[in-house]
Amino acid sequence: MKKRILWLILLAAGVAGVWAVLATSTTLAAGRAQKATPSDDEVNAIARQLYCPVCENIPLDVCPTQACAQWRALIREKLAAGWTEQQIKDYFVEQYGVRVLNEPPHQGWNWLIYVLPAFFLIGGAILLFRLFRSWKPPVPDAQSQETLQSEPPTGADEYLKRFEEEADKRK
């Protein structure tokens, strides 16, 4: 029984670890060679990861305003000048604040946003598990079942046999 719990904890830790790693991974910056005129797709690939600095929750690649059109043109210019994706994103952050990024930067209090969900899930699971342990029927239940049984289970009585096995494990 203890061994199973240890395996479960290990599994849970493994899942949480993988989840935490995925949750904190950043997108790989793609270096771009100097181009004559960057295509719309190349501009959008970066614009898609940014949010309009003035509109409410609208990604930069779909924002219909004049201002956003100018910002996309700015991205195109910088790409043509050889800037990398990360450099362009940093430039926007410098100019307009971290709200232009589609995720909070991994600094300071913002770490909470990345870490709290895992904490809550694991904390909740641990809490429930401990509550469950305190609910389990006391051993006398299984024992009284045994004493009430006047004859050993027949071969055909699969379910009862399995129940006995489980009850034995929990003694």
Partner 1 sequence: MIAQFGYGVLVLAFLMALFAAGASVYGYFYGSQPWVESGRRAMLLTFPLITVSALTIIYLLVNNHFEVDFVYSVTSREMPLYLKVTALWGGQAGSLLFWGWLMSAFATAVALRKWDRDREFLPWVVFTCCVTLAFFIGLVVFYENPFARYWATLSGEVTKAMWQPAGSALFTPPDGQGLNPLLRHLGMIIHPPMLYLGFVSFTIPYAFAIAALVTGRTDDRWIRITRRWTLVAWLFLSLGLVLGSRWAYDVLGWGGFWGWDPVEIAAFMPFLTGTAFLHSVMIQEKRGLFKHWNMLLIILTYALVIFGTFLTRSGVLSSVHAFAQSAIGPSFFIFIGVTFVSSAALLIYRWGSLQSETTMTSWLSREGLFLLNNLLFISILVVCFLGVIAPLISELFTGQKITVGPPWYNRTTGPLFAGLLLLMGVAPLSAWGIASYKTLGGAIWKPSIAAAVLVVLTAIYGYTSPLAILGFFLIYLVACVTLFEFWRAARARGRSTGEGFFQALWRLLGRNRRRYGGYVIHLGVVCMALGIIGISMFQLQTQKSLAVGESLELAGYTVRYDSLAQFPYEDGRSVNRVVLSIFKDGRFVRELYPRFDVYPSGEPSTIPGLYSTLAGDLYVVLVNWEGVSTASAPLKVYYNPLVSWLWLGAFVFIFGTLIAAWPDPEPEYESARVRARQARSQPSAAD
Residues that bind partner 1 (CB under 8 A): 15, 19, 22-23, 27, 39-41, 44, 51, 56-57, 59, 62, 64-66, 69, 97-104, 109-110, 113-114, 116-117, 120-121, 124-125, 128, 132, 135-137, 159, 162-163, 166
Task: Name the DSSP class of 137.
Answer: P
Residue with smaller CB distance to partner 1, 69 or 81: 69
Tokens of 125: 């699971």
Question: What distance lies between CA 142 and its chain's CA centroid?
Answer: 41
Residue with smaller CB distance to partner 1, 34 or 102: 102
CB of 19 to partner 1, least distance (A): 6
Burial class (CB in 10 A: 0-12, 13-18, 19+), 104: middle
In whole angstroms, give the CA distance from residue 63 to residue 100.
13
CB of 135 to partner 1, least distance (A): 5
What are the counts of helices (DSSP H) followed by strands (DSSP E) for the chain? 7, 0
Residue with smaller CB distance to partner 1, 58 or 87: 58
